[in-house]
A and B are shown apart, each in its own frame.
Chain A
Amino acid sequence: MTSPLLKIDHLEVRYGDLIGVADVSLEVPRGSVVALLGSNGAGKTTTLNAIAGIVPVSRGSVVFDGENIAGQPAYAIVRKGLALSPEGWRLFAQQSVENNLLLGATPLADRARVPRLLDRVYTVFPRLAERRAQRAGTMSGGERQMLAVGRALMSEPKLLLLDEPSLGLAPAIVDTMYDSFAALHKEGQTILLAEQSVDVALEAADHAYVLQVGRTVLEGPAKVMADNPDVQRVYLGVE
């Protein structure tokens, strides 16, 4: 069996005295979709941000593609093939949709691939093609989410990290969004996604981890997790 693309061991993130993530361990095998579940404040966003390098890792290791990337700056990590669609999207609101996508392609060494990648994003999200000249700041929530995901795809990442892709979106748009993730999965894209919506996430994922107050408390194949009453119990916070 080949080594996982991402392996996190006993990750801890502290902000001074505050603990953002206490003890998270997880694995993302190549070509799989892994869901990171948990209620608000469980540490999903902090975990993804620590992997991508925008918050510092206090303890533990983050091994990506055989290399410990914990402590490396975000701009170096994305160049290794790990792209994050962050919480709140963090789009460049003043710039056009197409410029946002082109900025996403900055880490690519092979500039000749940019037009093809742009086409691929426009095929996955035709809505973005229609709005390519529009300022990112003037788009709707669903379109912004598409743009954040599309922008992350532009660097052709080996691992795509998605933070709450369903947050604040109408159910119909969530379905469209998850259809496109399924299509990416079929192409062989490895994805780690954090979600509060358990049902959609478990339907899309192969494997799932559940976080509670900064710790991984449950894990298992997505199909098994869907039927596990403990998952719902952790969510509702009933002990």
Chain B
Amino acid sequence: MGMTLVQVVVSGLLLGAVYSLFSSGLTLIWGMMNVVNFAHGDFVMLGMYTAVVVWTALGGGPWASVPVAAILIATLGIVSYFLLVRHIMRGPMLAQILGTFGLALFLRYGALWIFGANFKTLPDDLVGHSFIVGGIRFEGARVLAGLVGLAVTLLLHFILTRTSVGSRMLAVSEDAVAAQLMGIRPQRMQALAWGLAGAATGIAGALIATFFYTSPTVGETLSIVAFVTVALGGFGSVLGALVAGLLIGVIESLSAFLIGPVYKDVIVYTVFVLVLWFRPQGLMGKA
């Protein structure tokens, strides 16, 4: 029992690190410009299809698909910013919701048109077989996804809090006019935020594809987890998304193991509601 419990927590943490990564882009965009990207889950979906295409066309695993997905989805983010988001930001909140929701539908049905409705999966042993360390069984794909997820989320947090470009991005988010007085072009920093968020989201998608089915509508399922993670961690906080992602991963696997897989979502959402009841700003959000 004891060893199994450790096993369950470890798998929860590995899953949680992926949740953190695919939520970090959503929270970054919110923190930078108060825009909720309803197409976020579909960015993840396109990252997953990138991994599928890289495998079927080139026979490449995540070592090839992760960088390709990062570049592709970062480009998609920047293009979406310049063609759509930049314009709807000037409109009312409803324009932002409908605008990014429209983008979501466009991407989702574009994927349906190109890839068809069938579920696609990558080979189980693409990343490597499972292995046992200290009595705990690790699946290659999950370990890779978890570790890369953790590393990229931490990198994003580092960029925002410890580099001069991060400082310029935060300056734009706090006061875009004052940032202009510093010689900063707000649109450049916002486009960069969309690029960074896109890269992180694309990487998350490519990693998830190694152990999860890929379909045009998978983004819908995933974006709910992303929104819960972001709200729990605190809107705008990458570190909050990291903590919340790990927490949700662990709660999910523990409740699936101790109570039953059917109930894991009930437990996750109960914890979610309870935390927000007492801390509406989320774990790391600013009141």
Q: Which residues on A are within 8 Å of B, measured CB to CB?
A: 52-54, 73-75, 78-79, 83-84, 86, 90-95, 99, 102-104, 106-107, 151, 155
Contact = CB atoms under 8 A, between A and B. Distances in A.
A103 B177 contact: no
Interface in B174-188: 174-175, 177-185
Interface stretch (B83-91, B163-171, B212-220, B270-278): B163-171
Contacts of B164: 102
Contacts of A102: 164, 167
A106 B177 CA distance: 14
A83 B180 CA distance: 11
Contacts of B183: 75, 78-79, 106-107, 155
28 contacts: A52-B181, A54-B177, A54-B180, A54-B181, A73-B180, A74-B181, A75-B183, A78-B180, A78-B182, A79-B183, A86-B181, A90-B177, A90-B178, A90-B181, A91-B178, A92-B170, A92-B171, A92-B175, A93-B174, A94-B174, A95-B171, A95-B174, A102-B167, A103-B179, A104-B182, A106-B168, A106-B182, A155-B182
Nearest to A148: B178
Nearest to A98: B167
A79 B185 CA distance: 11
Nearest to A80: B183
Interface string B61-104: 00000000000000000000000000000000000000000000
Q: Top 8 A-B pairs ranked by shortest CB distance?
A: A107-B183, A90-B178, A74-B180, A78-B183, A75-B180, A106-B183, A106-B182, A103-B182
Contact of A92 (B178, B180, B185): B178
Contacts of A107: 182-183
Nearest to B286: A94
Interface in B149-172: 164, 167-168, 170-171
Nearest to A89: B178
A157 to B, nearest CB: 11
A52 B180 CA distance: 10
A106 B184 contact: yes
B20 to A, nearest CB: 22
Name, among B168, B178, B181, B184, the residue most crowded by chain A CB atoms within 10 Å (CB to CB): B181
A115 B178 CA distance: 22
Given A92-B171, A94-B174, A155-B182, 19 more contacts: A53-B180, A54-B177, A75-B181, A75-B182, A75-B183, A79-B183, A83-B181, A90-B175, A90-B177, A91-B178, A92-B178, A94-B170, A99-B167, A102-B164, A103-B168, A103-B184, A106-B182, A106-B184, A151-B182
Nearest to B186: A75
Contacts of A54: 177, 180-181
B167 A78 contact: no
Interface of B: 164, 167-168, 170-171, 174-175, 177-185
A84 B171 contact: no
Name, among A79, A92, A94, A107, the residue most crowded by chain B CB atoms within 10 Å (CB to CB): A92
Given A73-B180, A75-B180, A103 B185 contact: no
B63 to A, nearest CB: 36
Contacts of B182: 75, 78, 103-104, 106-107, 151, 155
Given A106-B184, A155-B183, A86 B167 contact: no
A155 B182 CA distance: 8
A102 B170 CA distance: 13
Nearest to B188: A75
B81 to A, nearest CB: 18
Nearest to A79: B183
A164 to B, nearest CB: 16
A84 B175 CA distance: 15
A102 B167 CA distance: 9
A8 B175 CA distance: 28
B174 A92 contact: yes
Contacts of B181: 52, 54, 74-75, 78, 83-84, 86, 90
B170 A95 contact: yes
Contacts of A92: 170-171, 174-175, 178
Contacts of B174: 92-95
